Amino acid sequence: MKVRATQAIMECLLEQEVDTVFGYPGGTILNLYDELYNYQDRIHHILTAHEQGAAHAADGYARSTGKVGVCFATSGPGATNLVTGIATAYMDSSPIVFITCNVTEQTLGKDAFQEVDITGIAMPITKATYLVRDAQTIPDVMRQAFAVAATGRPGPVLIDFLKNVTFPSVEIDYEFVPWSRNRSCSSIQSLATSHELKAPEPNKGDIETLVEMIAQSKRPLLICGGGVVRGRAHRQFREFAEKLDAPVAITVMGGGGFPGGHPLTTGMIGMHGSQASNVACNECDLLIAVGCRFSDRVALQPETFASQAKVVQIDIDRSEIDKNVLTDHHIIGSARRVLEMLNAKLPQYSHPEWKEQVLPLRVPSVAETGDKLTPKQVLETIRRLAPQDTIVATDVGQHQMWSIQHFHFDYPGQLLTSGGFGTMGFGLGAAIGAKLGNPDKVVVHTTGDGCFRMNCHELATVEHYHLPIITVVFNNGTLGMVRQWQNLIYHQRYSETTLDRGPDFVKLAEAYGLKGFRVTSMAEMEAAFQEALTAGRGCVIDCRLDMDEMVRPMVAGGAHITDFLLK
């Protein structure tokens, strides 16, 4: 039947079972927003304070729910304000469809007002980009975009509609195709035929080879990477680890892929990895990395990484194999499917001597003395008082590492953090998306005073939509991680890292109509967090910490994984 082009866009969103969209309107996308007005009872639009906040919110929604996030923005600066959010999603394989509108065909390429080649800009940081010049292609483009974003290795996709395509007078032929039947559409089938949408079926011979390698190993170590989380393969990974009876190191992006409190967990691996994880990596005879790309924060010195081990990489993306660390064996396929095939063939193993060598190295809980509030006290208070399934969204820096070290993440989507791109300002937007996608769960946003300045305007969004998000600011008056490097590596030359300036975060919270607390002791922290849990509205807790608190352990970039600067 004939429908308006903009109506077809909305119907395609409903096809994909989209009920929440994050965005910010502007001139070129007004036709789309005018159509959205007709769908406000079926598609809930969240107006953020800034397009970057909308991008991070769509990202947090996607990561925490496992669905595809959706984000709208207008042309020019609206579209370019998405770029950091797009790159963040791309580096961490988060499925989002970004929808922008551009100038008309008649003015395209003539430096029209707010014109920018956003498809060209976004091409290196997306799985695909589409510039829609012909309205008749809208259904195919929309269906392809969602399929590409969600399948294989997930990631962001951008669709840019020329404004004339969205004119109210433009009509196209359209038939509603429910999501359950989307895969049978000709456009999707053509993509699938070219293997762009299919996760490769693991090679049975490769599975058998790894089964034999496991049988010969005396000191196996597993790495739980982001692919376990993205692929929702946590149950299969846990079965695999328990069958191998092997220690498990967890990457930053792997948080929630394996229970943080499990007896086999050795903690984080890499630059700020635990002594147990890093030593186990150095001394194991078989290293099996699942959904891990061996970034420079994990394999700090690739040529010596796991030098005593046979290295096995399991990944859905063939381009990641041997990119950073040369492997002795690899298996291409989704984490879930590979693990299912391995679990079906593995007997029960036992490695008591190896575990006894590694597991005692996990850092024990040390009682802290003195009057100063410490990061550990803050996080242990949150962990003790908050429900076990609380979602934690972090920004980037010291507080991020402390949060990952001290929380036990038990399921995919419980930890939301920018691991690959390291985006300061990610956390509050991500927390907004997570709360909207998981209204029954407590959402805590941990941030530093430097990071919070980059996204605090989204407190307006928190207040307007009545989101009871608890923001905990690790306020040490400095760009803490950068200062830590300056302290340890740059001979205490503190160049432009001291944040001796406003705002007063308690007054800022109150200015946005939220509750603010300032805490300087563990008792004050406990009281503030307890009140925040029952406040029924957004709260900001300003935790005053010592400027020279450091993240421990630490290995310098490019150093051997057991060459600790700090323990």
Q: Please indicate, yes or no, whether residues 395 and 531 belong to a single structural domain of this protein.
A: yes
> With left for phi above 0 and alpha for psi between -120 and 50, is residue 315 left, alpha or beta?
beta
The whole-number pLDDT of residue 184 equals 58
Q: Please indicate, yes or no, whether residues 185 and 269 belong to a single structural domain of this protein.
A: no
Q: Please indicate, yes or no, whether residues 411 and 512 belong to a single structural domain of this protein.
A: yes
Domain boundary residue among 334, 361, 388?
361
List the catalytic residue out of 91, 144, 163, 522. 163
The whole-number pLDDT of residue 364 equals 58
Confidence of residue 186 (pLDDT cuts 50, 70, 90): low
The pLDDT tens digits for 115-126 are 999 999 999 999
Percent of the chain residues topping a pLDDT of 90: 93
Percent of the chain residues topping a pLDDT of 70: 96
Q: Please indicate, yes or no, whether residues 445 and 513 belong to a single structural domain of this protein.
A: yes
Would you say residue 52 has pLDDT above 90? yes
Sign of the four-CA dihedral 301, 302, 307, 311: positive
* Alpha carbons 284 and 287: distance in angstroms, whole number: 7
Going by DSSP bridges, is the β-strand pair 2-4/171-173 parallel, antiparallel, or unpaired? antiparallel
DSSP 344-399: HH------HHHHHHHGGGSPPP----SSS--HHHHHHHHHHHS-TT-EEEE-SSHH
Q: Which CATH number goes with the domain that contains 232? A: 3.40.50.1220
51 belongs to the catalytic site = yes
For residue 564, being part of any structural domain is answered with: no
List the catalytic residue out of 114, 136, 301, 357. 114
Would you say residue 383 has pLDDT above 80? yes
Domain boundary residue among 166, 193, 220?
193
The whole-number pLDDT of residue 192 equals 57
The whole-number pLDDT of residue 567 equals 84
Parent domain of 433: 375-556
454 belongs to the catalytic site = no
Would you say residue 191 has pLDDT above 70? no
Q: Please indicate, yes or no, whether residues 341 and 224 belong to a single structural domain of this protein.
A: yes
Q: Please indicate, yes or no, whether residues 307 and 397 belong to a single structural domain of this protein.
A: no
| Residue, of 200 and 74, whose pLDDT is higher | 74
For residue 334, being part of any structural domain is answered with: yes
275 belongs to the catalytic site = no
For residue 368, being part of any structural domain is answered with: no
Q: Please indicate, yes or no, whether residues 387 and 353 belong to a single structural domain of this protein.
A: no
For residue 322, being part of any structural domain is answered with: yes
Q: Which CATH number goes with the domain that contains 474? A: 3.40.50.970
Average pLDDT over residues 476-497: 96
Mean pLDDT over all residues of the chain?
Answer: 95
The pLDDT tens digits for 267-311 are 999 999 999 999 999 999 999 999 999 999 999 999 999 999 999
* Alpha carbons 245 and 5: distance in angstroms, whole number: 57
List the catalytic residue out of 17, 113, 308, 353. 113
State pTM to two decimals.
Answer: 0.96
11 belongs to the catalytic site = no
For residue 563, being part of any structural domain is answered with: no
Would you say residue 195 has pLDDT above 90? no
Q: Please indicate, yes or no, whether residues 522 and 458 belong to a single structural domain of this protein.
A: yes
Least confident of 79-93, 153-167, 179-193: 179-193
Would you say residue 426 has pLDDT above 90? yes
List the catalytic residue out of 142, 268, 481, 550. 481
CA distances from 145 to 15, 16, 61, 142, 213 (A): 13, 11, 18, 5, 40
For residue 218, being part of any structural domain is answered with: yes
* Alpha carbons 218 and 354: distance in angstroms, whole number: 7
Average pLDDT over residues 53-59: 98
Q: Which of 181-190, 339-348, 357-366 has the highest mean pLDDT?
A: 339-348
Q: Please indicate, yes or no, whether residues 395 and 341 belong to a single structural domain of this protein.
A: no
For residue 34, being part of any structural domain is answered with: yes
* Alpha carbons 247 and 249: distance in angstroms, whole number: 7
* Domain count of the fold of the chain: 3
Q: Please indicate, yes or no, whether residues 354 and 389 belong to a single structural domain of this protein.
A: no
Domain boundary residue among 158, 193, 228?
193
Would you say residue 238 has pLDDT above 70? yes
List the catalytic residue out of 15, 35, 51, 380. 51
The pLDDT tens digits for 141-152 are 999 999 999 999
Q: Please indicate, yes or no, whether residues 129 and 217 belong to a single structural domain of this protein.
A: no
For residue 547, being part of any structural domain is answered with: yes
Q: Please indicate, yes or no, whether residues 133 and 8 belong to a single structural domain of this protein.
A: yes
522 belongs to the catalytic site = no
